[in-house]
Structure formats: structure tokens, C-alpha cells
């Protein structure tokens, strides 16, 4: 433990609460006419944040109907059978991804209509439909740039899409952001679910963690409250109250 101490990384450099509302408007909407690049960014981000999967797993997804199945209340994604995950075991291999619909139609209010724009099932449907005319690969995520249009993209490119989406959301909010990684979506997604009182086993299963220890040690984001700073406040208040204002 002294030679290789457990090091907890700092809290991610981006705020999910700030980012999640920006894709509800321009330039990410309307999905039927927005830029293919923004559509790709938004779809990749929504899949990453609602699945808590690694980018390598997102790259293994395929658009074929037998592997991407649209149900009424969810969408079921299945990696290509030849894909080998980071951890090769019966628990990790060929594990399906289930993503629920979010505020589906009919909508009772304008707010529900806006929230529906974050529906990952809707985003995937638009993405697959709009990429169909130039698609040259069954891989789900494909290139949209002219030089490589329709060809499968690398894991690095999907990572770039996700981080570009996050940075664009910060730019739209007028807030500067630091360097971030696509892998941080796993920590953001799982920690948000944990704070929403989702049972820990229901968090570890979608994220493909066979042990709760993995989440607790490497991905859980510690949410600090005002009470965490009580000690420092008490010191300052004590010093101020005992000092002589006239001195």
C-alpha cells in the first residue's frame, strides 16, 4: 500500500448539470436538419452518458436491425459478436445495452417536449436514418467528413465527438472548461445514478463492473457539501470574534 497507494482522481473538470441542458437547443436541434457533425456529437454523448460504457464498447456497436433493436419503451444495443471487451469473462462478453426512452410523446407541457430532445432512442433513430444514404459500414458510428464519409470511425474519433460535445455545451453556456476525457462520462453517469438512489447492483451491471469495489474506488464522485468546510469556517470565525477590531 505504501509503494502503490490508492490515488483518487480529482472531481471531473465538467459539470453534468451544466452540459445536459444545452443539447436541447441549437446547434444540436432540430435533429432532422442540424449539421451531421452536431448530430454525431450529440448521439455519441447521449449513448455514452446513459450507458456508462467505454468508448471501445461504443465502437463495437452495429446499426444492423438484429443488433440495434428499437422497442416502444427502450432501445436495445448489442456489440458485434467478435468484439472482446477489456475484461474477457462470461459476465462481460456480449452484454446488451438497454437505454430507456425519455419523456416520450404525447407531451403534457412545453417542458416535457424540451426534455424529449434528450431521448437517446430518438437520437439514435435520427442518426441511423440520416446516415443511411452514405453508410458504407455496419458499424453504428461512422465518419461524416467528406474524405472518410460513411466509413467506420475509430475509438479515438468517438472520444473526440464526446469531448467536443461537452466543450460546445460549455461554450454555449459562456463558461470556460478544462481538459476533459470521454472516459469521464462513466464516472458522471454512475455517480449521478448513485446519488439518485439507484441500487448499487443496478449501477454496476450496466457499466459492466462485476464488483462494487471498482465503482467505489475508481469512479464514484464524492459530492462535497457545505458541512465539509465547517472546520475551516469555524477557525476563521473564531479568529475574527477574538480579534480586536481597533488593533
> What pLDDT digit, counting tens, does each position of 116-174 carry?
999 999 999 999 999 999 999 999 999 999 999 999 999 999 999 999 999 999 999 99
Spacing of C-alpha 212 from chain mean position: 20
Q: How far is CA 124 from CA 18, 77, 148, in A?
A: 23, 10, 21
CA distance 106 to 101: 13
Judged on CB neighbours under 10 Å (0-12, 13-18, 19+), 113 is: middle
pTM above 0.75, yes or no: yes
Grid cell for residue 66: 438484429
Please, which pLDDT band fits residue 183 given cuts at 50, 70 and 90? confident
Which tens digit of pLDDT belongs to each residue from 9-21?
656 678 888 899 9
Long-range pairs for 9-13: beta carbons < 8 A, 24 or more residues apart: 9/218, 11/221, 11/222, 12/180, 12/184, 12/187, 12/188, 12/221, 13/177, 13/178, 13/179, 13/180, 13/184
Kindly state the average pLDDT of the residues 57-81.
92
Q: Using alpha carbons, select from 130, 126, 141, 136 the residue that is nearest to residue 59.
A: 141
The angle formed by the CA atoms of residues 185, 186 and 192, to the nearest 5 degrees, is 85
Confidence check: pLDDT of 235 > 80: no
The count of other CB atoms within 10 Å of the CB of residue 245 is 5
Amino acid at each position: 500500500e505504501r509503494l502503490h497507494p490508492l490515488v483518487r482522481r480529482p472531481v471531473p473538470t465538467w459539470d453534468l448539470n451544466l452540459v445536459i441542458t444545452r443539447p436541447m437547443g441549437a446547434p444540436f436541434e432540430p435533429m432532422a436538419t442540424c449539421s451531421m457533425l452536431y448530430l454525431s456529437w450529440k448521439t455519441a454523448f447521449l449513448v455514452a452518458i446513459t450507458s456508462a460504457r467505454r468508448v471501445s464498447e461504443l465502437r463495437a456497436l452495429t446499426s444492423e436491425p438484429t443488433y440495434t433493436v428499437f422497442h416502444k419503451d427502450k432501445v436495445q444495443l448489442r456489440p458485434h459478436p467478435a468484439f472482446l471487451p477489456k475484461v474477457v469473462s462470461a459476465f462481460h462478453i456480449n452484454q446488451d445495452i438497454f437505454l430507456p426512452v425519455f419523456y416520450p410523446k404525447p407531451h403534457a407541457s412545453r417542458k416535457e417536449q424540451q426534455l424529449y430532445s434528450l431521448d437517446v432512442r430518438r437520437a439514435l433513430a435520427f442518426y441511423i436514418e440520416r446516415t443511411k444514404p452514405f453508410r458504407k459500414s455496419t458499424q453504428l458510428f461512422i465518419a461524416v467528413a467528406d474524405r472518410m464519409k460513411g466509413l467506420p470511425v475509430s475509438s479515438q474519433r468517438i472520444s473526440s465527438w464526446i469531448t467536443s460535445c461537452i466543450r460546445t455545451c460549455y461554450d454555449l453556456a459562456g463558461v470556460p472548461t478544462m481538459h476533459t476525457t470521454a472516459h469521464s462520462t462513466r464516472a458522471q453517469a454512475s455517480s449521478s445514478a448513485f446519488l439518485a438512489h439507484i441500487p448499487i447492483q443496478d449501477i454496476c451491471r450496466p457499466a459492466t463492473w462485476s464488483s462494487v469495489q471498482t465503482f467505489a474506488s475508481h469512479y464514484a464522485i464524492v459530492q462535497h457539501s457545505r458541512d465539509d468546510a465547517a472546520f475551516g469556517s469555524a477557525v476563521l470565525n473564531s479568529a475574527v470574534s477574538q480579534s480586536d477590531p481597533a488593533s
